[in-house]
Amino acid sequence: MSGTAHAELFAPPSESAGLKNLVGLSREALEAEITACGEPAFRARQLWQWIYSKGVTEFGAMTSLSKAFRARLEEHFVVRRPEVVQDLTSSDGTRKWLLRFSDGQEVETVYIPEDDRGTLCVSSQVGCTLTCKFCHTGTQRLVRNLSPAEIISQIMLARDALGEWPSTRLDRKITNVVMMGMGEPLYNYDNVATALKIAMDGEGVAISKRKITLSTSGVVPEMERCGRELGVNLAVSLHAVDDDTRDKIMPINKKYPLKQLLQTCRDYPGTSNARRITFEYVMLKGVNDSPEDARALIKLLKDIPAKVNLIPFNPWPGSFFECSSNNAIHRFAQILNDGQLSAPVRATRGEDILAACGQLKSESERKRKSERT
Ligand code: SAH
Ligand code: SF4
């Protein structure tokens, strides 16, 4: 399926009648709305700062705008946040929000505090069309793309909840954003790009492209464009070192096999030893965790500025796989380190709040169903 056909088939619902949401419009689109209201273009810039730098949602509080203009804004527009269905904090400080959009669809956003950073994990789709066998999101039936508003408002909502406005604060907790929540961001490229451009804008949300990482399962045709147009860090879900294994656990490999994927990584714009591509590798017992696999991985990545994130498999109800033993994970990491590949083992976070991607949403749906019966 072409990118355009995919975007049409899985499009978010068009805004329902009523007030138009200003969140998620590009700078140009916001300016067009404002000039259409008969206001000069510079007003759009002021409004942009109120919305994205100060985090204000009420037009009445935008005191640098004339009263007449504020009244006109109130007549036509709104600055909307998604509804928070659940807000859970884990004993380790990980926080997870289950958000519901106007058509009732739900996604998850997760905040992960660490010693030297705070990372917000943002979703790009409701569900995912790619059915990676170890991933819970891939089992969810309903899929649609998130709109730019639904993507950027995940960051804005987390900022509300953590008391992070204005963007100019020096003590911001959310320092990094990763497009690693539900969905495949490169199957929703246009909306993700609009949202990330808003996130990177220095007069708004102001998160530098160096602090944003987009994770893909390997949608080869969109990768180069992502590097060239957005310049964000790239993470690639590799998870296997040979096509046979990868075909089995990640069906997208049949379309874009390893050789093609790794060549696209070699060509990813802006990559250097100081700015490496992250290869994610979920540790699955007896599937991809042998010492031979580790040695093959070193060979595979030898001419790519790379680091490897070893992720302990996070089981979910009904999942077919088991996580590799601690020993196997550490032996694997040691072989990579000896081969000059940096390979931290990612800590499992937020286990007590259903941390595996997509789990909270399924749990919420299950509960709603059982309440109905
Ligand atoms: N679709 C994109 C981004 C979302 S998934 C991608 O696949 O890269 C984010 C990361 O979580 C991916 O590396 C994915 O493979 C990993 N992941 C999915 N399910 C997991 C599980 N049950 N345990 C551990 N990691 C998982
Ligand atoms: Fe989709 Fe990523 Fe999960 Fe694969 S791992 S099913 S691409 S969300």
Share of the chain above pLDDT 70, in %: 92
pLDDT tens, position by position, 193-215: 999 999 999 999 999 999 999 99
* Whether pLDDT at 71 is above 60: yes
Residue 361: pLDDT band with limits 50, 70, 90: low
- Are the CB atoms for 119 and 175 separated by under 8 Å? yes
Mean pLDDT of 333-338: 98
Q: Is the CB of 132 under 6 A from ligand 2?
A: yes
Q: CATH topology of 24-78 equal to that of 83-372?
A: no
Q: Ligand 1 centre and the CA of 238: distance in Å?
A: 10
- Pick the residue with more confidence: 320 or 356? 320
> Of 293, 236, 308, 294, which is closest to residue 267 (Cα–Cα)?
236
Q: Rounded to the nearest whole angstrom, what is the distance from the C-alpha of residue 99 to the centroid of ligand 2?
A: 19
pLDDT at 16: 57
Q: Determine whether the shortest distance from the Cβ of 137 to ligand 2 is under 6 A.
A: yes
The answer on pLDDT for 358 being more than 90 is: no
* Choices 3.40.630.30, 3.40.50.300, 1.10.150.530, 1.10.10.10: CATH for 24-78: 1.10.150.530
Show the DSSP H helices in the chain as ranges. 3-9, 27-36, 42-48, 67-76, 148-162, 189-200, 220-225, 243-249, 252-255, 258-266, 291-300, 326-338, 359-372
Q: Ligand nearest 186 Cα, by number?
A: 1
What pLDDT is attached to residue 2? 54
Closest CA to ligand 2's atom 4: 132
Q: Which of 109, 136, 215, 222 to mutate for ligand 1's pocket (most ligand atoms within 8 Å of CB)?
A: 215
Ligand 1, atom 12, residue with closest C-alpha:
237
How many helices (H) and strands (E) would you count in the chain? 13, 13
Q: Does residue 125's CB lie within 6 angstroms of at least one atom of ligand 1? A: no
Ligand 2 contact, 135 CB (< 6 A):
yes
For the segment(s) 83-372, the CATH number from 3.20.20.70, 3.40.50.720, 3.40.50.2000, 3.30.360.10 is: 3.20.20.70
Per domain, the residue ranges of the chain are 24-78, 83-372
* Residue-level pLDDT at 15: 64
pLDDT at site 139: 85
Rounded to two decimals, the pTM is 0.94
Q: For the residues 181-185, what does the mean pLDDT come to?
A: 95
Q: Is the pLDDT of residue 12 over 70?
A: yes
* Ligand number with the minimum distance to the CA of 252: 2
Rounded distance, CA 166 to CA 124, Å? 25
User: Catalytic residues, which ones?
Assistant: 108, 357
| Separation CA 95–CA 89 (nearest Å) | 4
Tell me the helix, strand and coil percentages in the chain, rounded to 5.
40, 20, 40
Q: Taking residues 319-330, report their average pLDDT.
A: 96
Q: Which atom of ligand 2 is nearest to the CA of 135?
A: 3
